[in-house]
Amino acid sequence: MNTQTLKILSKRFREYVARFRTDGELHPMHQLKLEHSIRVSADARAIAEGMGWVPEEINLAEAVGLFHDVARFPQFQKYGSFSDADTVDHGDLGVETLRNEQLLEGVAEEPRELILHSVQYHNKKDLPCTLTVHEEKHLRLIRDADRLDIFFVCWHSIHSGHIHDHPEIAMGIDFNGPPTPEVLERFERGEAIDYRSMKSMADRFVLQLSWMYDLSYDASKRLVRERGILDKFLGVLPVRSDRLLHCFDATAAVLGGVDKPISGS
Ligand SMILES: [Fe+2]
């Protein structure tokens, strides 16, 4: 995708979002998603650049980042919720929105199909079984970029005292509760952590550490390190235990570039 096409898409995205403004203002939940989309598109570009992709692929990654959550705008307007389980799958709705609103008009077929594919599957629990090399490359990138921003939002919302403005993070769990043994066991065994087993904010952090293990690109891991995400998490962690801190040490080792245990610092 050339730079001119990316510019056109960026303008189209902002015009689409502007339709959700009332008296010039977005609902705060829409504003959050607008800011998230802009940060994810910047991170998608940063990861793609970090991996040495060619300019056409970097631009495509940025476009996917911009549109990955486009469905969040109609979803919240219609249902007043970001819960896919209670409303609609926002990856599937994203594809529908991009098609119905003709937001990708004029984009060549291959990049258009890649954007649609990445938007559809960015939020699915597992990657689809059959993927072309090109699909997998972009799908893994948007999943990394999305998670990078979730790390930031999770830390920032607690650090700034605004966690309750983020229902998708607070999710009615016990903020000061201890880590759940089942969650710790699954992390230690390298198994996927089920959302339904999370009871405390400490569990939420363990889940995010497990996502750090699953980052696909070295450039994504490097950004986690450079942004000091683990230290930021430790700074707002509501409870501490040796076992919980060990999860942080193990994650630091996987991220690389850290030569002393975090819990000992
Ligand atoms: Fe999403």
Q: Which residue type is seen at 164?
A: H
pLDDT at 49: 97
Distance 254 CA to ligand 1 centre (A): 25
For 181-186, which contacts have Cβ atoms below 8 Å and span 24 or more sequence positions?
A: 183/207, 184/243, 184/244, 184/247, 186/210
Q: Return all residues near 42 (Cβ < 8 A) that are at least 6 apart.
A: 62, 65
| pTM for the full predicted model | 0.90
Among the residues of 51-108, which ranges form H helices?
Answer: 55-67, 72-79, 90-100
How far apart are the C-alpha atoms of 148 and 36, rounded to whole Å? 11
Q: What is the 3-state secondary structure (H, E, C) of 151-189?
A: HHHHHHHHHCCCHHHCHHHHCCCECCCCCCHHHHHHHHC
CA 105 – ligand 1 centroid, Å: 22
Ligand 1 centroid to Cα of residue 71, in Å, is 8
Quote the tokens at residue 219.
């450039």
As a whole number of Å, the end-to-end CA separation of the chain is: 45
Look at residue 71 in the predicted model and tell me its pLDDT: 98
Angle at 142 between CA 137 and CA 145, to 5 degrees: 125
Instruction: Map out the domains of the chain with their CATH numbers.
Output: 3-146 (1.10.3210.10), 171-264 (no CATH)
- Separation of CA 28 and ligand 1 centre (Å): 17
Spacing, Cα 131 to ligand 1 middle (Å):
20
Residue 91 β-bridge partners: none
Distance 52 CA to ligand 1 centre (A): 25
Rounded to the nearest angstrom, the distance between the alpha carbon of 241 and the centre of ligand 1 is 32
Distance of alpha carbon 58 from alpha carbon 44, whole angstroms = 8
Length of the chain, please?
265
pLDDT at 264: 39
Digitized pLDDT (tens) for each residue of the chain, 265 residues in all: 999 999 999 999 999 999 999 999 999 999 999 999 999 999 999 999 999 999 999 999 999 999 999 999 999 999 999 989 899 999 999 999 999 999 999 999 999 999 999 999 999 988 999 999 999 999 999 999 999 999 999 899 888 887 766 666 666 678 888 999 999 999 999 998 887 888 899 999 999 999 999 999 999 999 999 999 999 999 999 899 999 999 999 999 999 864 444 443 3
CA of 35 to the centre of ligand 1 (A): 13
Tokens of 147: 């998670």
What pLDDT score does 142 carry?
98
Ligand 1: centre distance to CA 98 (Å): 14
Cβ-defined contacts of 170-174 (< 8 Å, 24+): 171/198, 171/204, 173/198, 173/199, 173/200, 173/201, 173/203, 173/204, 174/199, 174/200, 174/201
Rounded to the nearest angstrom, the distance between the alpha carbon of 92 and the centre of ligand 1 is 10
